[in-house]
Amino acid sequence: MGIVRSSGISTRQVFGAGLLTGAVYFAATLYWLVETMTAFGGLATPLAVVAAGLLVAYLALFPAAFAVILARLHRAFGLRALFLAPSVWVTTELGRQYLWDGFPWTLLGYSQVTALPIAQIASITGVYGLSALLAATATAAAFFVVARGRARFIVAAGTAVVVGICAAWGAGRLRSSSLLTHGEPVRVAVLQGNVAQDEKWDPALRDAITDRYLAMTRQALAQGATFIMWPESSTPFYFEEDIVRGSAVRRLAKESEATLLIGSDQIEPIATAAPTDAVRSRYYNAAFLVQPDGTVGAIYRKMHLVPFGEYVPLKKLLFFVGPIVEAVSDFTAGRDPVLLPVGGHLASTAICYEVIYPNLIRRSVLDGSELLTTITNDGWYGRTSAAYQHWDQASMRAVEQGRYLARAANTGISGVVDPYGRVVAKTGLFEPAVVVQDVRFLKDRTIYNRLGDLVAWLSLLLTAAALVGTRFRRSRPGARVE
């Protein structure tokens, strides 16, 4: 049957243990999916639990794979295989980013985003390097428990020294904070309209919502803001299609000579073969940059769509989520990371959970972005931990890229993070707010920006090489293959 046994534990048991561990981890961090699908997707609670459970089960496969791979390496190399655990773990996290549609939510390294001295390592290695560091400390603890002799003390001490060096270097980087004096300053405002989901597309409230954002924009202008950000899909109308309300936004930008970043859906007609064909359109979740002269200087279309929010994957297989299919708009993904011209500089934006893709943000900086922005609508999450998880993951991008990050969220959390991950300003949830802060356009590039996810790809290479090596190793005494 091909069962590998080491110390009496089968591959099936190892897989089961890893799957259970992953299920507990992801159920605890993604529990809010149930509330989201019942409140906004129209699913009954039992069906929402099943749908969320399927995603949790899929994600749990990655810790299960980690367990199976590490067990195989242990069978071939003994306790020394434990030192490969960080590489194996990071490899599975990399898989979560690229396999299927990708869902790299709550990677291990994000737990350090508020431990600022340690978080600075992300400027060299990215979040995957932090994940590797945490996995290495866990490995050292495991080795200390199971090993015998002086080796376990040497490994524990060595790991403590590495962590200490990382913390000392990070603390020194924070003390220096040289990036805070570089670049040209710009006063940015992020608006948090706090519009309830069930009110956003109510025709009777369209003018009231528009007026709210225009008033908040004027409030930001009065505080000296020259670059003002509205949240994702903040307009209760199609910006390009609604001449009256769209003109009001353009006119305000022109009168104030400010730059506005407006989150709004976009419709693009599709050319048909014959004039008699029914009119078809593509829908995009977009961000419009309105320049000081009132013209649209750039349009960014969201590239990573939210499953069950902007499209439903595997519709035929997941037939029981019919209410979500009916409730979800069928959006089309954008293709290009369009940059935004702001006051003679270039900024970039990420819409909603795109900000959890480190490679996407790195690409925008490589293309010339000097300021990171992200607009989102986290109203779907209610008062769960999801909004806080989202904020923390966005903050990590600032450290990785050495850029200020400004975030506008409909119901919060909105705010500004400096290039070292320090929170400059931060709002609460479900309250209207206008946050105005001075930030800087920066051109310096971090080591991570230059090297990318090298740690993750090297981890994949090392794991693959180790697995190949197991084919040339004899089983340890007491291990056998059946």
Q: Which residues lie across from 283 on neighbouring strands?
A: 267
Angle between helices 85-98 and 45-77 (to 10 degrees): 140
Question: Phi first, then psi: what are they for 88, rounded to 5°?
Answer: -65, -45
* Spatial contact of 287 and 299, defined as CB atoms under 8 Å apart: yes
**Contact (CB, 8 A) for 225 and 258:** yes
Does a cis peptide bond (omega within 30 degrees of 0) precede residue 413?
yes
Q: How many CB atoms lie within 10 A of CB 198?
A: 10
Residue 63 to residues 27, 112, 318, 452, 463, Cα–Cα distance (Å): 13, 20, 24, 24, 15
> In which region does residue 177 sit, left (phi positive, over 0), alpha (psi from -120 to 50) or beta (all else)?
left
How many Å apart are CA 373 and CA 361, to the nearest integer? 10
Alpha-carbon 274 to chain mean position: 42
Q: Which residues are catalytic?
A: 232, 302, 352
Q: How far apart are CA 307 and CA 103, in angstroms?
A: 10
Rg (CA), the chain: 25
Other C-beta atoms closer than 10 Å to the C-beta of 433 total 20
Alpha carbons 349 and 372: distance in angstroms, whole number: 6
Is residue 150 within 8 Å of residue 410, measured between CB atoms? no
Q: Which has the closest alpha carbon to 41: 320, 318, 327? A: 327
CA gap 330, 66 in Å, rounded: 35
